[in-house]
A and B are shown apart, each in its own frame.
Chain A
Amino acid sequence: GIQVEQSPPDLILQEGANSTLRCNFSDSVNNLQWFHQNPWGQLINLFYIPSGTKQNGRLSATTVATERYSLLYISSSQTTDSGVYFCAVCLQTGANNLFFGTGTRLTVIP
Chain B
Amino acid sequence: DGGITQSPKYLFRKEGQNVTLSCEQNLNHDAMYWYRQDPGQGLRLIYYSQIVNDFQKGDIAEGYSVSREKKESFPLTVTSAQKNPTAFYLCASSIIHADTQYFGPGTRLTVL
Contacts and interface: CB of A to CB of B under 8 A. Distances in A.
Interface of A: 1, 4, 31, 33, 35, 40-43, 45, 48, 86, 88, 95-103
A102 B105 contact: no
Interface of B: 31, 33, 35, 37, 40-45, 48, 50, 56, 58-59, 88, 90, 92, 94, 96-103, 105-106, 108
Nearest to B101: A98
Contacts of A43: 90, 103
B101 to A, nearest CB: 6
Q: From B42, B92, B94, B101, name the one whose CB has the most chain A CB atoms within 10 angstroms.
A: B42
A41 B94 contact: no
Contacts of B56: 95
A101 B42 contact: yes
Given A96-B31, A96-B94, A42 B42 contact: no
17 contacts: A4-B42, A35-B103, A41-B105, A45-B102, A48-B100, A95-B50, A96-B96, A96-B101, A97-B33, A98-B43, A98-B92, A100-B35, A100-B42, A100-B43, A101-B42, A102-B42, A103-B41
A34 to B, nearest CB: 11
Given A42-B106, A48-B99, A98 B88 contact: no
